[in-house]
Structure 1
Amino acid sequence: MRRFLAPVVGLALICGFMPALSSGAAQAAAGPCIGAPAADGTTYAETRHFIDAQAWWMPDSDQADNSTTNHGHVHMGACIPERETISSGNLTVHVRVILHDNPGKANYVSMVFKTSDTETIVQKCYLRATATNFTCPGPSSTGKGDFVCTGTCERWLTFSQPISSFNHSGLQEVRFRGFVPEPGGKEMRTNLNWQVNIQNGASVSNISRDPFLRGKGWYTHTLYCEASLRTVPIPDSPVSGIWTPVVDSTTRPDGSLPATHSFISIDPDFHAVPSEPGTVLWNAEPFGSAPIAIDTRTLTNGVHKLHLRTSCRDDTLGSTNSGVTVIPFTVAN
């Protein structure tokens, strides 16, 4: 039976209403990317949002905290034209990768075009210690990336591929996958899946499997843990009054370990010292899939961030894999 979320600073769970997923494209408008870090000051031809997908490998409070069970975070964020229409030229996306207290040596990020009948890696950009930001470096002499970090470090990559690389027109999916080998032969991955309306003259065949925004953490043995926004598209225009997106905290039916905890918050900052949890809406057992009403009148006007985190506890390896999706939205009351 669905749990009810207690009101927290004017925010409450609304049950019994699940808006249908829209297959249409968002209304395009040129301008800067909503929620973008200062480093990406690009003016885009269509509305974009900076979506941050994260993978965490960190112990629960009752699990031992040591160099094996705590590998920190890897972030992979990008200004994406979610459900916007692209009808010519290249699909170009700047991707930011952040390592936070992560002892791994980051390898590469791949861009994948997923259609109704194909899945193709169209570009790989390697994470290099000395590479220039906003480029697409090749591998080091070892054939891999070599980006390591003490504390918090970031790199920017630029992906650009012609839309003719999609073998269909219509609603297509783009996936970014980041790979970070960890000590002891384990691996952490972060994944960002999103959709875009491609008009390239090819036959129309809309993607239909999980056609919504998804951020996934992946770790050896645990496999996937996913946090998603099922209401599409992300609002291009400011929201006011009550905004009711459908969020989902789950795992994949592919042998991945089950979700064991959900955390939902507005404007947290886990890199602050001490960390700032933001306005916490849910911090308990798995939330599942349901609409959540956000009373934007309790928020200041401007850009805010909805943080969705799903955790999948791994008792075999003694730690917890988490997948995070962070979605910006603008308030104007």
Structure 2
Amino acid sequence: MRRFLAPVIVFALTCMVFPVLAPGAARAAAGPCVGAPPADGTVYAETRQFVDTQSWWMPDVDQANNSITNNGHVHLGACLPERETISSGNVTVNVRVILHDNPGTANYVSMVFITSDTEAVVQKCYLRATAADFTCPGPSSTGDGDFVCAGTCERWLTFSRPITDFNRSGLQEIHLRAFVPEPDGNEMRTSLNFQTDIQNGRSPSDVSRYPFLRGKGWYTHAGYCESSVRSVPIPDAPVSGVWTPAVGLTTHPNASLPATHSFISIDPDFHAIPANRGTVLWDSAGPYGPEPFGSAPISIDTRTLANGVHKLHLRTSCRDNTLGSTNSGVTVIPFTVAN
């Protein structure tokens, strides 16, 4: 089934097109994080948006639903300084982790700084059952995290590292990644990659490998399944009229299963009972954008939406016939409508 908010969607001709900010979107001054949950009321020195990435391990409609094939979700979200400039002090990011119907024991979240010639884990924060929110706990006595959940539970971690930890200046990448070992011995991961302009006095060298916002689900054997936003930066200020960001819902190019379904919606709530699919813009077999790692525009007529903050939900599913379930990678970005 295909549903469209606008009648025409034109696919990108190449898998490596990175559009600039789309018409109707603009940059804004610093202030509260756009779309932030109430728990994070920080007023940041630069404009930020709360971006959520999710990993799902859930069976398709024709796959058996049992304790091996259904491990629910893990969310990783944060107020990101995506494409903003940081010229002093630390990169500080509050990270929210949610387990939803996930039987695993959450281990830790890592923050990785990626430059044109290095990739280094600069901080690990462990997910602990009794630790206070907005801290960076160490491991338990076993050397791992010990956060488990029945139903839906959340934890907040705070990462903070000096910008001098980047060995280059200019456009650099930050990678956040959460690890959840599952009872059957497999592992679920979710990760979020974004870029920030770092001005630390080091020699300039912009990152060029996949320089766009992307959220990934990962599961043992299945590999990565990815949803990305290619129109960078994502809008700080309100959008109006027809907003046409470029997105990619595809597999990852490195040893991962192909995308078997793609879904794009505005303001869904899959934790509601019954689940709310939101305003569905696309729901179809296969990727959205040419494989591998392509992209295409999606037209959003903001005049059909109420003024205020909305969420664009991108979900790519990659079926794993060997393990009998489906790995999905989700990226959710906020945008503000003002018509």
Instruction: Tell me the TM-score normalized by structure 2.
Output: 0.93
* CA apart distance, 1:282: 1.1
Whether 1:226 and 2:226 are equivalent positions in the alignment is: yes
1:319 to 314, 318, 325: 325
Q: Pick from 289, 293, 304: which aligns with 1:298?
A: 304
Q: Which residue of 2 aligns with 1:15?
A: 10
- The residue type paired with residue 312 of structure 2 is L
Matches within 5 A, 1:244-263: 244-263=244-263
Tell me how far apart the structure 2 counterparts of residues 328 and 224 of structure 1 sit (CA, whole Å). Answer: 23
Question: 1 CA distance for matches of 2:18 and 2:206?
Answer: 16
1: CA distance, partners of 2:228 / 2:8: 16
The Cα offsets for residues 47-72 of structure 1, whole Å up to 9 and x where unpaired, read as: 00000000000000000000000000
- AA at the equivalent of 1:292: I
How far residue 114 of structure 1 moved from its aligned partner, in angstroms, is 0.4
Shift of 1:16: 5.6
Check the 8 A contact 2:19/2:246 in 1, yes or no. Answer: no
2:2·2:283 contact (CA, 8 Å) conserved in 1? Answer: no
Corresponding letter in the other structure for 1:139? P
Residue 255 (structure 1) shift: 1.2
Q: CA contact under 8 A between 2:28 and 2:237: conserved in structure 1?
A: no
Question: Counterpart amino acid of 2:337?
Answer: V
Q: What's the counterpart of residue 81 of structure 1?
A: 81
Structure 2, gaps ≥5 residues long:
290-294
Q: C-alpha separation between the residues in 2 aligned to 1:30 and 1:235?
A: 13
Is the CA contact (8 Å cut-off) linking 2:4 and 2:282 kept in structure 1? no
The structure with higher relative contact order (CA 8 Å, sep 6+) is: 2
Q: CA deviation at 1:21?
A: 3.3
Query: Distance between the aligned counterparts of 2:189 and 2:245, measured in 1?
Result: 27
Q: 2:337: which partner in 1?
A: 331
One-letter code aligned to 2:109:
V
Q: Where does 1:144-163 land on structure 2 (aligned, <5 Å)?
A: 144-163=144-163
SS in 2 for 1:103: coil
Q: Which runs of 4+ in 1 moved over 3 A?
A: 4-8, 16-23
Q: Structure 1 residues 315, 237: closer, same or farther in 2, change over 3 A?
A: same
For 1:118 and 1:217, locate their aligned partners in 2 and report how far apart those are by CA, in whole Å.
Answer: 23
For residues 165-244 of structure 1, the aligned pairs below 5 Å read 165-244=165-244
Q: 1:136, 1:42 → 2: CA distance?
A: 17
Q: How much does 1:253 deviate?
A: 2.0
Contact 1:13 1:291 in 2 (8 A): no
CA distance change for structure 1 residues 160 and 145 in 2, over 3 Å: closer, same or farther?
A: same
- Give ranges in structure 1 of 5+ residues lacking alignment: none
Aligned to 1:108: 108
SS in 2 for 1:263: strand
Inter-partner Cα distance in structure 1 for 2:89 and 2:37:
25
Identical aligned residues as a percent: 74
- TM-score normalized with structure 1 length: 0.95
How many residue pairs are counted as aligned between the two chains?
326
Question: What is the CA-CA distance between 1:183 and the residue it aligns to?
Answer: 1.1
